[in-house]
Structure 1
Amino acid sequence: MKRYHIITFGCQMNEHDSENIAGMLESMGYVLADDPFKAEVVVLNTCSVREHADKRFYGMLGQFKKRRDENKDTRIVCVCGCMPQQPRVQDEIKKSFSWVDVVFGTQTIGDFPRLLNDRISTGKKQFSITANNSIVPDEKESKRLHKHKALVNITYGCNNFCTYCIVPYTRGREKSRSLEDVVCEVKKLVADGAIEVMLLGQNVNSFIDDKGNTFPTLVRAINDIEGLERIRFMTSNPKDLSDELIECYRTCEKLCKHIHLPVQSGSSSVLKRMNRRYDREKYIDIINKLKSACPDIAITTDIIVGFPGETEAEFEDTLSLVEYVKYDSAFTFIYSPREGTPAAGFSDQIPYDIKHERFERLNEVVNKYSLEKNERLSDKTVKVLIDGSSRKDDKSYSGRTDGFKLVNVSSGRDITGQLVDVRITECKTFSIDGVLA
């Protein structure tokens, strides 16, 4: 029996790529191993957005190298994702990790079965990064992590070139699938048991297909699919969030009352240096429109602290924006330079101790509102889509509310994949506890 294991770093786009890779491997006769060291083929799907992911990847490679040196390990190790798209990493793999068997990029995922077979048949290392401009083949053999919900790519790549971000260089230029193709896929997923879909793209708001169909048009089309219960999407760039999409929160009953809207900074001057192409006032205007269209909407965000040149006053602009919006939660990050991006070359880098101090102050404010928003659900009954067993204990199950809040539910029976009524019994900063109503 041939076994495989995939280790995924990074975002939902990478998670979905790993689903596709798993599908390819299973079509080749491999079965999933729960331990990478029990698999004949291991795939490391990498992320280049944060320095932390880099370190974890190299640490994992080191473990496989040690096994290979000590045990004459014959397992095939494959590296893919965003990191191999960077020339620096390509050189490093060839020089320092030349024992890696197969390397492929974000735009050559479709080549993976051929590359793996060539490695097995010839014994030679396989390296494939560059692809033509066609869209990556998608969903042909995907192995879904869940039956009840699914990730669906609608765009690939990014054209925004924020000065801190490596993604446009690793994922390529932006391309959209056709509306018909996406709708057809969602219908098939629903027929197979999915009741929730998350539409994915680096910037879903800029979706536009060859016929001129825009993202709001796509949302409305998916909203009409019978049997589907929930629609989510991620991620949105505020500069492209239209009034037409905001109106979908009024008119599309399946669109979840949640939006992840990365602000990155509350300072207009920092946003300009980031090349975000909106300012504080524009962002606040969008927030006000969203809350008007959907008063119960949950809003989450991404925030970077310590961007080059950030002054104390600019940082306080971010704090005041958090106070104004009162986010349900936020992913907060300390800025780390990414080689190859404009911001990495900015001369006014912020000392780490200042960045860390601001990071702590920001999290204190963010967490205050996260708890406050969660406590509003205390003693209320809400719908929760159960994803599986809770990490909390083996007698609980975890799922998400319409507003994407994590709920741990006590249950004596397996409720995975079900949309259940839950009475909230305890609210904490990062999660909520409840019982079946």
Structure 2
Amino acid sequence: MIDTSSFQGKKAAYYTLGCKLNFSETSTFGKMLQDIGVVAAREGEKADLCIINTCSVTDVADHKCRQAIRRMVRNNPGAFVVVTGCYAQLNPQTISCFDGVDLVLGSNEKANLLQFLSEKWSGMSSDAGRNHLHEHFSVKTKDIKTFVPSCSRGNRTRYFLKVQDGCDYFCTYCTIPYARGFSRNPTIASLVEQVEEAVADGGKEIVITGVNIGDFGKTTGESFFGLVKALDSIEGVKRYRISSLEPDLISDELIEYCGRSRSFMPHFHIPLQSGSDSVLKLMHRHYDTALFAEKVRHIKSVMPDAFIGVDVMVGCRGETPEFFEETYNFIDSLDVTQLHVFPYSERPNTSALSIPYIVDDDTKKERCHRLLELSDRKTMAFYNRFIGKEADVLLEKASYGKAMHGFTANYVRVELPVSESLPEYDNSIRKLLLGDFNHDKTALKATVI
């Protein structure tokens, strides 16, 4: 039992880096602390407690984590500082030595955040001159067993439901399995309960998140397809979006079901990483380009208007000029909507470091630029198809005097002018007539029908 009396009225500041899963988990931490009397510090207000949830997907991410930790310590003198997340799991001892850091919690320990705070922080004064603890707690990858449940509201209209954590794939370039452990998941029944609570709270759109969500079910003997069917039956949820699915885990059965689903949107995000079979083998990915192309073809045959986003890694070890051209040409041939392009970053202790061919930074930038131009062309062509058509749009709250924005079922971003943006439209689905692009071509202008 945790004595909550010493937490009453304390102020906490949060900082999150990385993926949607991290943001969802941070939101859950905030809710847990709020429930025991800790309030969120307002902007510019000194906090008694700082929690930094970190990412370690690239060396740039590591650098941003270090900057965020130092900034939080500097802006909140005397605060009790906790660092968790992937960077904390991979480098706990190093981080614990940073000035001002009290506690570093690995991926297994963050589930017990309140217990650690009760033991280490409870009753401690926020004295700028006090000595910090510099303690760290983490276990080896094979011993990461806990699952932190989360169904948190984003800063707009949607909720993020964490259905799975960890990964068993061990791609050669990636540290995520080492940072988050092996694949694990809660029960379908527990996830249904969380979604029902979100609906009661006014939630209309749920984004299904995790590290490798298509792998759902290993812990419980269930399946991702079973989860999809169970979630689809919950009354009150208007829309589900699947955050990311490995191509080898997208079954034809799932595609067919989403095509006729009441609430699963025609919107897929599929990591490709490379369009060269030779590079995919170097990466130890679980598919080839033929399988990827077939999944895209099947989705489009069932849902012709589906939005398909694709992750592409540029400049990994072994990506010769010829292999990059294979990637470019392969993606150009696909009926996909948008690319998430990012340069390869060498990570310590990954097997990719043994691959001899290295791509220099200037070449990486040039390749990224080419793929981003290709992405823009594909996105513009996709949006153009819907100009002049009607669509149901889930609108998001806007600041007074600002245009409202929202998304169609197939993830076309829409802008409603200030003159038609009404407070009662917030978090509601409205039928709109889609017009031409807005001034910066990030959305289609629309009018209420």
Same topology, TM > 0.5: yes
Deviation of the 1:121 alpha carbon:
3.4
Deviation of the 1:358 alpha carbon:
1.1
Any residues of structure 2 matched to 1:339-378 within 5 Å, and which?
339-378=348-387
2:312 counterpart (282, 288, 303) = 303
Deviation of the 1:260 alpha carbon:
0.2
Residue 68 of structure 2 is aligned to residue 60 of structure 1: yes
Q: Partners of 2:238 and 2:72 in 1: how far apart?
A: 43
Residue matched to 2:196: 187
Secondary structure of the 1:121 match is coil
Residue matched to 2:326: 317
Residue matched to 1:92: 94
Deviation of the 1:396 alpha carbon:
1.3
Note closer, same or farther for the CA distance 1:207–1:75 as it changes in structure 2 (3 Å cut): same
Note closer, same or farther for the CA distance 1:430–1:279 as it changes in structure 2 (3 Å cut): farther
Q: Partners of 1:226 and 1:433 in 2: how far apart?
A: 31
Contact 1:109 1:136 in 2 (8 A): no
Give the number of equivalent residue pairs. Answer: 426
Residue matched to 2:427: 417
- After the TM superposition, which segments of 4 or more aligned residues of structure 1 sit over 6 Å from their partners? none
Residue 252 of structure 2 is aligned to residue 243 of structure 1: yes
Note closer, same or farther for the CA distance 1:387–1:38 as it changes in structure 2 (3 Å cut): farther
Q: Partners of 1:146 and 1:436 in 2: how far apart?
A: 24
Residue matched to 1:284: 293
Question: Deviations 1:122-157 (Å, cap 9, x if unpaired)?
Answer: 674443323855432424xx6633685311111111
Q: Partners of 2:341 and 2:240 in 1: how far apart?
A: 25
Question: Deviations 1:55-74 (Å, cap 9, x if unpaired)?
Answer: 22222223244457xxxx21
Note closer, same or farther for the CA distance 1:279–1:430 as it changes in structure 2 (3 Å cut): farther
Q: Partners of 1:305 and 1:8 in 2: how far apart?
A: 25
Percent sequence identity over aligned pairs:
28
Deviation of the 1:398 alpha carbon:
2.3
Deviation of the 1:171 alpha carbon:
0.7
Deviation of the 1:106 alpha carbon:
2.5
Deviation of the 1:210 alpha carbon:
5.5
Q: Partners of 1:64 and 1:137 in 2: how far apart?
A: 24
Deviation of the 1:50 alpha carbon:
2.4
Deviation of the 1:335 alpha carbon:
0.8
Return the TM-score normalized by structure 2. Answer: 0.89
Residue matched to 1:7: 15
Contact 1:147 1:193 in 2 (8 A): no
Contact 1:297 1:403 in 2 (8 A): yes
Secondary structure of the 1:266 match is coil
Contact 2:320 2:357 in 1 (8 A): no
Deviation of the 1:349 alpha carbon:
1.5
Deviation of the 1:85 alpha carbon:
0.7
Return the TM-score normalized by structure 1. Answer: 0.91
Residue 107 of structure 2 is aligned to residue 106 of structure 1: yes
Q: Partners of 2:29 and 2:372 in 1: how far apart?
A: 36
Deviation of the 1:116 alpha carbon:
2.1
Deviation of the 1:423 alpha carbon:
2.3
Any residues of structure 2 matched to 1:169-188 within 5 Å, and which?
169-188=178-197
Residue 402 of structure 2 is aligned to residue 395 of structure 1: yes
Contact 1:202 1:236 in 2 (8 A): no
Residue matched to 1:18: 26
Note closer, same or farther for the CA distance 1:150–1:356 as it changes in structure 2 (3 Å cut): same
Contact 1:108 1:136 in 2 (8 A): no
Note closer, same or farther for the CA distance 1:130–1:210 as it changes in structure 2 (3 Å cut): closer
Residue matched to 1:408: 415
Secondary structure of the 1:85 match is helix
Contact 2:15 2:68 in 1 (8 A): no
Deviation of the 1:38 alpha carbon:
3.0
Secondary structure of the 1:156 match is coil
Any residues of structure 2 matched to 1:176-255 within 5 Å, and which?
176-208=185-217, 212-255=221-264
Deviation of the 1:185 alpha carbon:
1.9
1:159 counterpart (168, 171, 175) = 168
Q: Partners of 1:320 and 1:354 in 2: how far apart?
A: 17
Secondary structure of the 1:74 match is coil
Q: Partners of 2:205 and 2:393 in 1: how far apart?
A: 12
Deviation of the 1:296 alpha carbon:
1.3
- Name structure 1 gaps, 5 residues minimum: none
Contact 2:248 2:287 in 1 (8 A): yes
The one-letter code matched in structure 1 to 2:42 is D
Secondary structure of the 1:160 match is coil
Residue 147 of structure 2 is aligned to residue 136 of structure 1: yes
Note closer, same or farther for the CA distance 1:47–1:133 as it changes in structure 2 (3 Å cut): closer
Note closer, same or farther for the CA distance 1:343–1:388 as it changes in structure 2 (3 Å cut): farther
User: How big is the alpha-carbon RMSD for the aligned residues of Structure 1 and Structure 2?
Assistant: 2.2
- Name structure 2 gaps, 5 residues minimum: 1-8, 125-131
Q: Partners of 1:366 and 1:226 in 2: how far apart?
A: 36
Question: Deviations 1:169-194 (Å, cap 9, x if unpaired)?
Answer: 11100012212121222122222221
* Range with bigger deviation, 372-381 or 329-338: 372-381
Contact 1:333 1:359 in 2 (8 A): yes
Residue 81 of structure 2 is aligned to residue 74 of structure 1: no
1:33 counterpart (32, 41, 60) = 41
The one-letter code matched in structure 2 to 1:102 is L
The one-letter code matched in structure 2 to 1:30 is V
The one-letter code matched in structure 2 to 1:277 is H
Note closer, same or farther for the CA distance 1:211–1:91 as it changes in structure 2 (3 Å cut): closer
Residue 444 of structure 2 is aligned to residue 436 of structure 1: no
Deviation of the 1:369 alpha carbon:
0.9
Q: Partners of 2:275 and 2:219 in 1: how far apart?
A: 35
Secondary structure of the 1:78 match is strand
Contact 2:414 2:445 in 1 (8 A): yes
Note closer, same or farther for the CA distance 1:63–1:204 as it changes in structure 2 (3 Å cut): closer
Question: Deviations 1:49-94 (Å, cap 9, x if unpaired)?
Answer: 12332222222223244457xxxx21222211110111xx223213
Question: Deviations 1:213-263 (Å, cap 9, x if unpaired)?
Answer: 311121112111111111111221111111111111223121100000111
